[in-house]
Amino acid sequence: MSGIKARILHNPRCSKSRQALEWLRSRGIEPEIILYLKTPLDAGQLNELLDQLDAPPQELLRSGDREFKSTGQDIRAMTREQIVAMLASQPRILQRPIVIIGEHARIARPAERIAELL
């Protein structure tokens, strides 16, 4: 599968993120690694990511995370714009890992979901 251009929004401290990276590498895919905590996505990039995921914007939030819970927000009532603004300012609550291949993306939990992109 070499020659496939992939990107991964990666947190090396997250076991699921490490598993997704290993899943790609075990198939001969060396992705561009985006350390989103060091280089947070801006609103434009987050909107593009939402379009690539083709999923409700709420899926991008780690709603069970303490940091999200401390906001007091009701995830069901949040608009896309509110979610994008929150993620742009608080990248720690971005769901991970996210793999992007071509014009499509998947939250790689479990890592096998990456196969949907191939």
The catalytic residue among 4, 7, 14, 48 is 14
Pair 84, 57: CB distance under 8 Å: yes
Q: What is the separation, in whole angstroms, between the first and last Cα of the chain?
A: 9
Active site residue 14: yes
From the list 115, 110, 70, 117, the residue with the least C-alpha distance to 90 is 70
Cα angle: 91, vertex 57, 101; to 5 degrees: 80
Which of 108, 104, 107, 109 has the alpha carbon at shortest distance from 118? 104
User: Which residues are identified as catalytic?
Assistant: 14
